[in-house]
Amino acid sequence: MHSHTPTTWIRQPLATSDPAATAGVVVQGSRIVEKLGAGQVPSVAVDEVFDASRHVLLPGLVNTHHHFYQTLTRAYSPALNKELFPWLTTLYDVWAHLDEAQLALASELAMVELLMSGCTTVADHHYVFSGALEHAIDVQVETANRLGVRAALTRGSMSVGRDQGGLPPQSVVQDEATILDESTRLIDAYHQRGDGAMITVALAPCSPFSVSRELMIDSARLAEAKDVRLHTHLAETEDETHYCQKLFGMRPLDYLEDTGWLSDRTWLAHGIHFNDDEVSRLGKAGTGIAHCPSSNMVLGSGMCRTLELEAAGSPVGLAVDGSASADHSNLAEEMRQAMLIGRLRYSPSQVRHQDVIRWATEGSARCLGRTDIGGLDAGQQADLALFRLDEPRFSGAENPLAALLLCGAHRADRVMVASRWRVVDGLPVDVDLGSLLARHGEAAARLRQAV
C-alpha cells in the first residue's frame, strides 16, 4: 500500500528527545517506519532526505485542553486580575454573543498558533452553545481538516444557568435531551477510530457545577455505549470544592465517582486540589490529568500535584487552556512554564526538561487514549516538531534539548502531521497569516461591541 508514497529520512537531528533516534527517523505513508540510532542508516529505500542537522527533533506536541473561542477575549480589561468564578461571570456575558463566523476564526487562529508552536494534535473543549452556535463542533471539524491537524474535539455542555443557581447566562444553557442528541449526532458523524485518526469526539460537560447530576450520569453512559472519551474541568479551585460540598454534600472527586466518571475513559482539566487519598484513587482508575500551568498561575488557582499523580498511575499531559486565561495558545511556551512551576513545587532534580517533554508528548497522548502519537517509535504516526536554535535567546546554549525549555523555544521551524509538512520555515502552509490576523482582530472587536 505504500508503494507510491515517498519515503523520507529526517536525517541526523542536532538533538532529539529519544536517545534511540539520534540518526533520525524514516517516514512513509502516514507513519514512522524506522527509528535510527547512532551510526545507523535506513534499511529501506529513501526517496527524500531532510537534513535536520540544525534542528532539535521532538514528536509532535499534543495539547489536551483548550477553549479556542477564547482567543477573541484575550487581555480583556473587565476580566483582568480576577480569580476563576468572578472571571467567568464577567466573560460569560461576552461569550453569550458568539456566532459561528467568530468561532470559525477563533478556532483557526488557535489551531494555527498551536501548530506554529510544534503542536500536531489540538484539543478543544467547547461548551458555549447559544442559538447562533448550534454547529460549533461541525465548524471546528471543517477547520481542522482544512489545516491538516489532528483534533480531539469535545462536545461540551452547560445545563444549569443563573436561574438554577449556576454561573452562565440562560442563553448559553441547553436542556439535557438536546445535549445528548447532539452529542450522539457528532460522534456518529465525525469520530474516527484506530491508529491515525485525525478527528476524535469526546463528551465534555463543562464542570460539575454547570450541568445537572443526570447529565453527568447520562454522558458517562453514552460515552461507554459509543466507546468515546469523557472530559471535564475538575478540582481547579478551592471555591469549586466548597461549592460541591455545599451543593452535593461531597468533594468534587467523590461526586465524579458517584456519577460514573472515575475511569480510564476520563481525563480532567486542571486537577489541582486533590488530597492524598484522591490522588491514589485517580491513579488506580487511570484517569488522566491535563496540567494547565499558565492558566493556573494567571487565575491564582494553585499548583497541580503532577509527580504524585503520575506516580500513582494517572497519565499527566500538558495543556495551554483557554486563551482568555493563559492568553496564548503556545504549547512550547507551556512546557517551560510547566518546568518552572514544577521546580517551585518539587525540585530541579525531580522535574527535568525530559520529564516535561514527556508530558507534552507521550503523557498528553495517553490522556487522549492514544498510543499511535506522542513518540518516535516505528509504527507511530509521523507527527514531528523540529525547532531551530538560531535566535538570540539560544546563543551559547550547550545542551540543545534542554535549551528548548530553559531558553524558551516558542516557535517550531518545521512541523509534520501524518508525513505532511504543515509548518515550513516557521509559517503555516496554505494559510494567509496576515489576513487571518486581520479578520480575527475584527471578529474580536465585533464581539466586544455586542456587549
pLDDT at site 131: 79
Q: What is the pLDDT of residue 170?
A: 87
pLDDT at residue 349 tops 70 = yes
What 3-state class would DSSP assign to 44? Answer: coil
Can you give the pLDDT at residue 144?
Answer: 98
Give the model's confidence band at 123: pLDDT under 50 very low, under 70 low, under 90 confident, else very high. very high
Tens-place pLDDT, residues 391-406 = 999 999 999 999 999 9
Percentage of the residues of the chain whose pLDDT score is greater than 70:
99
What phi and psi values does residue 29 have, to the nearest 5 degrees? 65, -130
- Per-residue 3-state assignment (H helix, E strand, C coil) for 157-191: ECCCCHHHCCCCCHHHCCCHHHHHHHHHHHHHHHC
Q: How many Cβ atoms sit within 10 Å of the Cβ of residue 245? A: 14
pLDDT digits (tens, 9 = 90+) for 319-333: 999 987 889 999 999
Given a cut of 60, is residue 1 above it in pLDDT?
no
Residue 42 pLDDT exceeds 90: yes
Closest Cα partner for 124 from 75, 210, 186, 185? 186
Query: What residue has cell string 447529565?
Result: 215
Give the Cβ contact number of residue 404 at 10 Å: 28
Q: What is the 3-state secondary structure (H, E, C) of 237-252?
A: CHHHHHHHHHHHCCCH
Contacts of 352 (CB under 8 A, 6+ apart): none
pLDDT tens for each residue of 205-244: 999 888 999 999 999 999 999 999 999 999 999 989 998 9
Mean pLDDT to the nearest integer, 358-371: 98
The torsion angles phi and psi of 122, rounded to 5 degrees, stand at: -100, 145
- Decide if pLDDT at 120 tops 60: yes
Query: What local confidence, expressed as pLDDT, does residue 2 receive?
Result: 39
Q: What is the set of domains in the chain, with CATH numbers? A: 7-59+376-428 (2.30.40.10), 61-367 (3.20.20.140)
Lowest mean pLDDT among 123-132, 219-228, 298-307: 123-132
